[in-house]
Amino acid sequence: MFAAWKISKYPKEAATSVRRLLRIYLSDDLGAAREYARNSIATVGKPALNQVLARLNGEEPQAVVAVLNLLTSMHVDDAEGAKAIVAKLSDPNEAVAKAAAQALFCSTKTEFCVPLFSELLESGKANHAVRSTVVWSLATLGKDGAAATPGLIRAMSDKDPEIRRMSLGALEKIGCRNAPFVQALARAIFDDDKILRDDAFKDLAALGAPERSGEEVLIEALRNTEIKDEKERNQFVRDVIRAFDRFRGNKSAVVVATFLANTKLEVGTRQVAAEMVGKPGIRTKDILPQLRKSLEGVRGELERDPENNALRQLERTIQQAIADID
């Protein structure tokens, strides 16, 4: 990189050289030369930074995007330089705003950009392109993005399902386990997006026994489900009950037991409920009356349909649960 070497060796000529390189870089029709200019400016680094940042005031969005893309290869250490990029996050041109988010992530220190990204997500004012870029950036940081947890939790309610899924993924990488996250997972259980619903169920189950709030969330979800489609409702109930398996608490067992007598549910769904209340760790006698009532109901169904093997299996499972608890 002769240009970069020349600037470092002859600093008095730096301003003129950088201006020339920028002029080449911002031209439309010089492919190889343009790339050479970009690499040279990036190699020069800090001595070229002020002139590069000054070009952010250009009127053509395409040129501003090009400058921001150049900044992804540079390091912006001072607050004033970072502010110039931050100002472009609210640009009405979506491409400019998105490029600004990328530049901020790549060129500034993590401790600077992460809190700012969280603030952007919490405010809900950033456009779609910026939100998407910010969440993606935080997801790549993993635990280093922990300071953005509040913003990512808010983004789990974003109107775009992809951003909601990405936000959950970022929080998983961070290792979030706090109460607001559990509450966000509770909302996600009812999400229209099936992928997000499934991931939320898995995360609630993975919280395990130490996070009792997870059990409370699932109980609330099971009590308040209003899914009209029969197939989806049965799948929802089965998913929640299976998530309870990690908790195996008596509170959840009491709730699950009520589903055994619900003949509107598929026999397979009731079987999942019976298996849950019959597992080791569930030893509350409070559910015995409900189990006995459910057993009577199943036997009544068998009288009407004696060849139904699924009902027969459900009968045996409930009987075993009663024997284990009593």
**Which position has the higher pLDDT, 165 or 8?**
165
Q: DSSP per residue over 91-158, as a string?
A: -SSHHHHHHHHHHHHHHS-HHHHHHHHHHHHHHT-S-HHHHHHHHHHHHHHGGGGGGGHHHHHHHTT-
Q: Is the pLDDT of residue 4 over 70?
A: no
CB 269 within 8 A of CB 238: yes
pLDDT digits (tens, 9 = 90+) for 34-70: 888 888 888 888 888 888 988 998 778 999 999 999 9
Per-residue pLDDT tens over the stretch 166-205? 999 999 999 888 878 877 887 787 788 889 988 887 887 6
Domain 109-204 architecture = Alpha Horseshoe (1.25)
Instruction: Work out the pLDDT band at 255, boundaries 50, 70, 90.
Output: confident
Kindly report the average pLDDT of the chain as a whole number.
82
pLDDT at 166: 93
pLDDT at 98 (0 to 100): 92
pLDDT digits (tens, 9 = 90+) for 97-116: 999 999 988 888 888 888 88
Please determine, for residue 298, whether its predicted confidence score (pLDDT) is greater than 90.
Answer: yes
Range in 149-163, 184-198, 277-291 the model is least confident about? 277-291
pLDDT > 70? residue 135: yes
Cβ pair 284, 254 in contact under 8 A: yes
Domain coordinates in residue numbering, the chain: 1-93, 109-204, 226-326
Q: How confident is the model at residue 2 (pLDDT cuts 50, 70, 90)?
A: very low
**Are 74 and 45 in contact, with CB atoms under 8 Å apart?**
yes
